[in-house]
């Protein structure tokens, strides 16, 4: 008689915004999809014991620790979710892979390219482990549909695209200097945001237009300094605005406009993809809608039409039987968690692993170099 599959045993590092999303996903994935045994939530690590204990109790983890190395060393843990700040990912992910764990690490891979390369090497050296990145936006059923329409040739050959990713959490000039103003956190909008549009370009257009060959970028600071909580002011070291031009083979062109200081924009990822036979438009602030324009039929009747997410767009139906009722951000994380579990089970999955994600990091660092030099940069 075949034995029942053993539950995956999970450790979580970091319990802030994304840590909670991972925890909700680990809690919900079995109930939503009903495919694998309910994951066992073994341990949670935070920066201090009190916070770790409180969050472990809230999220349903059996034990808590103030040292993430305890989780990584724990033989009862199969999988480590990394939802700590960007600069800590490399050390945590490399240690977890070396300890034989699967890793689900938030984006971007690291703040320094050398660290991201080391993560990719660690994943390659542990082929039994799944090393996946937190690119939840690619999991949206509307984005899956967009990819299928493009692959089916409904837009004709794609010639150019534009993506604008805008939020306003850094838009207040009076807000005090924080981690995201410090060079320790990375470049700013370029890496904190830029990797998300690159993940979307990868799944939507990777097969049709291939990778970007060259990049030209400009980074800017809406505010040159910020107040310090104890008095005085400190120069801002990151750039909250980044603009990138991307050149692909075959004269295909792309634009990324990224801002963390775009007053009024809360979670915008506005995508436009243009082909010879039609175009697609999407905005993450309206994540259940896809706009499709097809250049056929009487000219007087042409126009964009809105396709509303429904059970006809997998895996929407696992959440809701009713069309138009709508998925949300956390649902995309639950889908990502399911894909991660499928990959661990050896089933083909829609995921961006360290091996693919390293290409986004190389592009981001080439963009930073372009800003420094004022010239186009080739992408390795
Ligand atoms: N996929 C997405 O859409 C998305 C969205 C937001 C953030 N992120 C990424 O998620 C990661 C976390 O960002 P966030 O917004 O949740 O930040 P956050 O500040 O809300 O949470 C980070 C948590 O990590 C904890 N932490 C810090 N150092 C730690 C350590 N040494 N050990 C254990 N815990 C530690 C902090 O105490 C905090 O609770 C970042 O890499 C970020 O880029 C991804």
Distance 339 CA to ligand 1 centre (A): 21
What pLDDT is recorded for position 380? 81
Distance 156 CA to ligand 1 centre (A): 40
Ligand 1 centroid vs 84 CA: distance in angstroms? 4
Rounded to whole angstroms, the Cα distance separating 217 from 214 reads: 10
Residue 194 Cα to ligand 1 middle (Å): 17
pTM: 0.97
Q: Which residues does the chain have with pLDDT short of 50?
A: none
Whole-angstrom Cα distance, residue 14 to residue 18? 8
Ligand 1 within 6 A of 275 CB? no
Q: Nearest Cα to 96, choosing from 126, 117, 116, 124?
A: 126
pLDDT for the residue 2: 58
- What secondary structure, in 3-state letters, does the chain show? CCCCCCCCEEEEECCCHHHHHHHHHHHHHHHHHCCCCCCEEEEEECCCHHHHHHHHHHHCCCEEECCHHHHHHCCCCCEEEECCCHHHHHHHHHHHHHCCCEEEEECCCCCCHHHHHHHHHHHHCCCCCCEEEECHHHHCHHHHHHHHHHHCCCCCCEEEEEEEEECCCCCCCCCCCCHHHCHHHCCEHHHHCCHHHHHHHHHHHHHHHCCCCEEEEEEECCCCEEECCCCCEEECCCECEEEEEEECHHHCEEEEEEECCCCCCCCEEEEEEEECCEEEEEEHHHCCEEEEEECCCCHHHCCCEEEECCCCCCCHHHCCCCCCCCCCHHHHHHHHHHHHHHHHCCCCCCCCEHHHHHHHHHHHHHHHHHHHHCCCEECC
| pLDDT for the residue numbered 198 | 98
pLDDT confidence of residue 3: 64
Q: Is 352 in the pocket of ligand 1 (CB under 6 A)?
A: no
Does the C-beta of 45 come closer than 6 Å to ligand 1? yes
- To test the pocket of ligand 1, the residue of 13, 19, 68 to mutate (highest count of ligand atoms within 8 Å of its CB) is 19
Pocket test for ligand 1, best of 59, 85, 335, 339 (most atoms within 8 A of CB): 85
Q: Which atom of ligand 1 is nearest to the CA of 15?
A: 39
pLDDT of residue 76: 97
Region of residue 134 (phi > 0: left; psi between -120 and 50: alpha; otherwise: beta): beta
Pocket test for ligand 1, best of 12, 18, 361 (most atoms within 8 A of CB): 18
> Ligand 1 within 6 A of 86 CB?
yes
- The string of pLDDT tens digits covering residues 176-217 is 999 999 999 999 999 999 999 999 999 999 989 999 999 999
């Amino acid at each position: 008689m075949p034995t029942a599959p053993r539950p995956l045993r999970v450790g979580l590092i970091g319990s802030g915004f994304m840590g909670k999303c991972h925890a909700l996903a680990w809690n919900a994935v079995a109930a939503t999809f009903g495919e694998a045994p309910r994951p066992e939530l073994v341990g949670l690590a935070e920066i201090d014991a009190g916070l770790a204990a409180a969050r472990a109790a809230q999220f349903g983890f059996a034990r808590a620790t103030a040292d993430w190395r305890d989780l990584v060393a724990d033989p009862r843990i199969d999988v480590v979710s990394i939802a700590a700040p960007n600069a800590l990912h490399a050390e945590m992910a490399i240690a977890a892979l070396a300890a034989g764990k699967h890793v689900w690490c938030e984006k971007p891979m690291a703040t320094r390219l050398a660290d991201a390369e080391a993560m990719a090497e660690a994943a390659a050296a542990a082929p039994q482990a799944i090393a996946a990145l937190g690119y939840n936006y690619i999991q949206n059923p509307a984005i899956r549909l967009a990819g299928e329409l493009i692959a089916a040739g409904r837009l004709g050959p794609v010639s150019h695209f534009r993506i604008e990713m805008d939020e306003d959490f850094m838009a207040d000039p009076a807000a005090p200097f924080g981690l995201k103003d410090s060079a320790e956190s990375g470049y700013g909008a370029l890496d904190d945001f830029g990797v998300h549009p690159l993940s979307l370009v990868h799944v939507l257009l990777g097969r049709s237009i291939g990778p970007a060959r060259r990049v030209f970028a400009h980074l800017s600071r809406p505010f040159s300094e910020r107040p310090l909580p104890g008095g005085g002011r400190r120069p801002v070291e990151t750039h909250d605005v980044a603009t990138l031009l991307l050149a692909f083979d075959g004269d295909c062109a792309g634009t990324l406009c990224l801002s963390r200081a775009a007053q009024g924009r809360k979670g915008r990822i506005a995508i436009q993809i243009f082909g010879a036979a039609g175009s697609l438009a999407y905005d993450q602030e309206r994540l259940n809608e896809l706009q499709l324009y097809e250049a056929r039929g009487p000219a007087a009747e042409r126009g964009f039409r809105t396709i509303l997410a429904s059970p006809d767009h997998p895996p929407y139906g696992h959440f809701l039987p009713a069309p138009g009722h709508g998925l949300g951000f956390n649902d995309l994380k639950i889908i990502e968690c399911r894909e991660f579990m499928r990959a661990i089970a050896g089933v083909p999955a829609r995921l961006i692993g360290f091996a693919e994600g390293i290409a986004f990091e190389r592009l981001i660092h080439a963009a930073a170099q372009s800003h420094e030099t004022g010239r186009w940069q080739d992408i390795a």
